[in-house]
Amino acid sequence: MKILTVILVLAMMAGAALAQETNSFVAVHPYIVSNHDMVQQSLAPSRFWTRSTIALVALDGAAKAADSFATRENIANGGQEYNPLARPFVQTAGAQVATMSALFGAEIATAYLLHKARHTMMERGVLAGGAVMNGLGAASSFKHRVGW
């Protein structure tokens, strides 16, 4: 019981210590007295559509197109969708196109919101994750193709 009390007291003291204001004047360079210039520069808005983002979106779109094509061909030739979550959305071509378009738009919107919140690595992770998952889906569909 004493150990638990000590841990709780230390946790409360650490929280109070983290809440203290730190001194913003740092000697970064002999001619820079504060870090105000660096903070203002890091708060400047950055572009969402960079070369890497465009490449990831294009890769994601290509992976989705390949996955859709392979799935559609398999279903048209008597095959089935192995993913139970996607199965209801790929029975007709219109539903499949609408589902993939909505998913693609949601991934780009999520990446944009993460970009606005300055989570650049998570932004790229969402786009790369979508490309990888759809690429794996396309590879699985090509591996298990039926009649084509």
Per the confidence metrics, is the pTM higher than 0.85? Answer: no
Encoding tokens for residue 131? 């490309």
Question: What's the confidence (pLDDT) of residue 121?
Answer: 93
**Intra-chain end-to-end CA distance of the chain, in Å:** 70
Instruction: For residue range 117-143, list pLDDT tens digits in order.
Output: 999 999 999 999 999 999 999 999 999
- Spatial distance between the Cα atoms of 13 and 103, rounded to a whole number of angstroms: 46
Averaged pLDDT for residues 87-97: 92
Q: Which of 9-18, 81-90, 129-138 has the lowest mean pLDDT?
A: 9-18
Instruction: For residue range 56-73, list pLDDT tens digits in order.
Output: 999 999 999 999 999 999
